[in-house]
Amino acid sequence: MSTQQQQPDRSETVLARVGLAFARWSERWFPDPLVFALLGVVLVFLIGLLMGEHPANLAVQGGKAFWSLVPFTMQMVMVVIGGYVVASTPAVSALIRCIAAQPKSPRAAIALIALFSMLTSLLSWGLSLVFSGILVREMAGRVKGMDYRAAGAAAYLGLGAVWALGLSSSAALLMATKSAIPPALLAVSGVIPLTQSLFLWQSLVMALVLIMVSLAVSYLSAPRPENARTAEDFGVPAQTLATTLERPSKPGEWLEYSPLLTLPVVAVLAWYLIDVFRTSPQGPLAALDLNTYNLIFITVGLLLHWRPKRFLRAVADAVPATGGVLIQFPFYAVIFGMISGTGISGRLAEFFAHATTPGDYPLVVAAYSALLGIFIPSGGSKWIVEAPYVLQAATMQHLHLGWVVQIYNAAEALPNLVNPFWMLPLLGILRVKARDLVGYGMLQLVLHIPVVFFLCWLFSRTLAYAPPR
């Protein structure tokens, strides 16, 4: 890197200078995502000892829970695969090329990446990571002087700003899915439909505000071309979106390259999905749980890829990005077991009930959720850990349980801006390391925290208590 890049000139905005300083720091100091999961296990074990739990009981309860999140882990894997499959279809690839041709300046390009990252994350965080990553690669070859680190961080904004307020929110979907809620949690909260969480007007306003803040920071913090590190500086070649498919070379491969089987299978799945939404006792929105959501993306991906061979190729490309989910979720289950299988959960619930009031409860829960997210960066598995005592305390405080879910959603996304766990699929597409992007995520985090905390507190005052059902 040149001396000028090490010491950016004063023509940069304040945010751009701070962003460059954070970027240089993170490139030196950030560890691998697995470190956070292992550290979480150790810390919870030590906290349990301080609370008077027997070490053998902590170990047994943690070990017993090691495989308890297998169904949920598979659901999360399918979110990644479904998002990748849809993002890599020819129709979506054409859309990406069209978008990449629009911006004429590096700042406009980075802001546009941030916008589409957040908009697509409201549909699916898996789709957001893949769509935004491919968009960055496309723009890198078109927009000269675009900082690859800032663009990559902008592509990750969907996961750090608003994804949990959208349709792939693990916590909200889990609480709306009776079969997915652990019995102990169901007894505390009951089922919370999406109309009482994601589709509250307070939640929609919060998402809009966070999108506006994120866009402003992304635009103003983008460095000038002379201070930027481009894709070429990282040795990353220009992206080429593959839209062609080779022809079959053997008679036995004919069906792999034909839509003859794709269409009836898609028709069957679509028929089933229509029936699910049509016959849902609590309305169409209540039917949108994790299983239904994943099936929608698989069905759409299969249709848009048209041929089984192209669909399978997309799945094969997506599978490596799920490795971190598969190996780390069991360790989050250990944390869940140590908390829910011992007296830790009850003590934490008592703490939240007696150490807070209805007025400050949203701030305390938001701070706790954000802090815990550093060690458990999965919105779904962390909610399993946190929900029993957080919702129990909220019931004792007579607070709106659906808004408690949204407080959790908004706050738990904050550490994603600096925690590299969910960056893994994006990093694979961009061919960089987490430490290359985290600096600009740190800048967003500093500015997001006061906004999120204030909105969580403000909107909690506008909602009345609704008993569990």
* H helix and E strand count, the chain: 23, 0
State the DSSP code for 222: P
CB-CB contact of 194 with 288 (8 Å): yes
pLDDT for the residue 107: 94
Q: Which residues contact 397 (CB under 8 A, 6 or more apart)?
A: 353, 356, 357, 358, 361
Comparing 15-19, 41-45, 456-460, the range with the smallest average pLDDT is: 15-19
pLDDT band at 103 (very low <50, low <70, confident <90, very high): very high
| pTM of the full structure | 0.78
Question: In this predicted model, what pLDDT tens digit does every residue of 207-219 receive, in sequence order?
Answer: 999 999 999 999 9
Q: Please tell me which residue, 322 or 289, carries the higher pLDDT value.
A: 322
Tokens of 287: 């039917």
CB-CB contact of 128 with 102 (8 Å): no
Closest CA to 147 of 38, 78, 228, 207: 228
User: What does each C-alpha distance from 156 to 180, 284, 329, 393 come to in angstroms?
Assistant: 28, 30, 21, 33
Does the pLDDT of residue 1 top 50, yes or no? Answer: no
pLDDT for the residue 3: 42
Question: In this predicted model, what pLDDT tens digit does every residue of 323-332 receive, in sequence order?
Answer: 777 888 888 8
Question: Once rounded to an integer, what is the mean pLDDT over residues 101-111?
Answer: 93
User: What does each C-alpha distance from 185 to 216, 339, 362, 400, 418 come to in angstroms?
Assistant: 39, 13, 20, 16, 29
> Three-state DSSP class for 373?
coil
User: Percentage of residues in the chain with pLDDT exceeding 90?
Assistant: 29
Q: Please tell me which residue, 130 or 99, carries the higher pLDDT value.
A: 99
Tokens of 463: 């909602």
Q: Please tell me which residue, 17 or 355, carries the higher pLDDT value.
A: 17
Does the pLDDT of residue 242 top 70, yes or no? Answer: no
**Which residue in this structure is represented by tokens 């699929």?**
425
Question: In this predicted model, what pLDDT tens digit does every residue of 79-99 receive, in sequence order?
Answer: 778 878 887 888 888 888 899
**DSSP notation for 389-456:** HHHHHHHHHT--HHHHHHHHHHHHTGGGGT--GGGHHHHHHHT--HHHHHHHHHHHHHHHHHHHHHHH
Closest CA to 175 of 155, 189, 195: 189
Comparing 364-368, 396-400, 407-411, 422-426, the range with the smallest average pLDDT is: 422-426
State the DSSP code for 224: P
Closest CA to 196 of 398, 381, 467: 467
Question: Once rounded to an integer, what is the mean pLDDT over residues 123-139?
Answer: 85
In total, the chain counts a number of residues equal to: 469
Question: Once rounded to an integer, what is the mean pLDDT over residues 312-316?
Answer: 87
pLDDT band at 252 (very low <50, low <70, confident <90, very high): low
Q: Please tell me which residue, 134 or 181, carries the higher pLDDT value.
A: 134
Q: Where are the domains of the chain?
A: 33-238+254-460
pLDDT for the residue 204: 95
Does the pLDDT of residue 247 top 80, yes or no? Answer: no
- In terms of Cβ atoms closer than 10 Å to its own Cβ (0-12, 13-18, 19+), residue 394 is buried
CB-CB contact of 409 with 169 (8 Å): yes
Question: In this predicted model, what pLDDT tens digit does every residue of 412-457 receive, in sequence order?
Answer: 889 889 877 677 778 777 888 888 898 999 999 999 999 999 999 9
CB-CB contact of 4 with 226 (8 Å): yes
pLDDT for the residue 447: 94
pLDDT for the residue 194: 86
pLDDT band at 118 (very low <50, low <70, confident <90, very high): very high
Highest mean pLDDT among 126-140, 225-239, 268-282, 403-417: 403-417
